[in-house]
Amino acid sequence: MQDSVPAAIPAHVGIIMDGNGRWAKNRGLVRTQGHLEGLKTAKKIVKAASDLGIRFLTLYAFSTENWKRAADEVGFIMDLVKQYLRAEFDFSKKNKIRTRFTGDFSGLPPDIQKEISDSVADTAGFEGMQVVLAINYGGRDEIIRAFRKLSQAKENGESFGEKDLSLYLDNPDIPDPDLIIRTAGEYRTSNFLLWEGAYSELYFSGKMWPDWEKEDLQAAIADFQKRDRRFGGVK
Ligand code: IPE
Ligand code: IPE
Ligand code: MG
């Protein structure tokens, strides 16, 4: 019975796109060159994910901890985000891809804020895949921001639970990620989707992000389809 059911495509996939710097270093290039190449990969994987029927794709582009890096690297990444959002509108329109955002928006430079708001507004009516850009994102930061909003909404002493808090996360309408992928051989989440990823299946790839291809995404999904998700229960 089970075998005749077609294997399900995960509704929501999150990707920790790691290894841009090492990819560049391995080729004797500067780190920023790796980010440029990583952006090309991101575009390719967005298209591949959309073609595969993934509904939500969260891309971890910049963490709340990444400000520790050199100012020129940070500036370069911010410029790439801007470029991506500007240049991809035609592509988004053609593929009905909607842009969403997660992270501490107020902590971003005003020009990036504008670019993000414009892209989110311009694509709001598109009904294809939703790409959630995690920029200035930290899982702990998202939880604490949600907690602050929740405590303002509640009367002193009023009780609340997990469901109440989850309503104040950045995108409460988006289902938790089924699958979280990390590239470049690191086995950690680095503050990505801490709350939402509680029961996500994890997949680690040794390949640097700029080397990722559609086939790598397909392999991750095929692996996901073999997992037995129990959510703490017994089958
Ligand atoms: C991921 O690649 C991109 C960002 C974190 C912005 P890295 O820049 O972390 O690349 P490595 O891990 O140094 O190779
Ligand atoms: C995680 O990668 C953040 C992003 C991919 C945006 P990092 O390279 O910043 O993580 P660490 O430092 O290896 O944990
Ligand atoms: Mg890294």
Rounded to 5, what percent of the chain is helix, strand, coil?
45, 15, 40
- Is-catalytic flag, 66? yes
pLDDT, residue 232, reads: 97
Give the C-alpha separation, 78 to 89, whole Å: 18
Residue 50, judged by CB atoms within 10 A of its CB (0-12, 13-18, 19+), counts as buried
Whether pTM exceeds 0.95: yes
- Is-catalytic flag, 18? yes
Give the C-alpha separation, 121 to 200, whole Å: 29
Q: Residue 4 — very low, low, confident or very high, per pLDDT cuts 50/70/90?
A: low
Helix axis angle, 110-122 to 71-87, nearest 10°:
20
Alpha helices in 10-88 (DSSP H): 20-26, 31-52, 71-87
Neighbour-count burial for 220-234, b at 16+ CB within 10 Å, e otherwise: bbeebeeeeeeeeee
**Average pLDDT along the chain:** 96
Q: What percent of the chain has pLDDT over 90?
A: 94
pLDDT tens-digit readout, 20-41: 999 999 999 999 999 999 999 9
Give the C-alpha separation, 47 to 96, whole Å: 11
Q: Is 21 in the pocket of ligand 1 (CB under 6 A)?
A: yes
Q: Which atom, in ligand 1's list, is nearest to the CA of 25?
A: 14
Nearest CA to ligand 2 atom 3: 63
Q: Which atom, in ligand 2's list, is nearest to the CA of 65?
A: 9
Q: Is 210 in the pocket of ligand 1 (CB under 6 A)?
A: no
pLDDT tens-digit readout, 160-177: 999 999 999 999 999 999
pLDDT tens-digit readout, 42-93: 999 999 999 999 999 999 999 999 999 999 999 999 999 999 998 889 999 9
Q: Which atom, in ligand 1's list, is nearest to the CA of 62?
A: 6
pLDDT, residue 196, reads: 98
Give the mean model confidence (pLDDT) for residues 3-18.
88
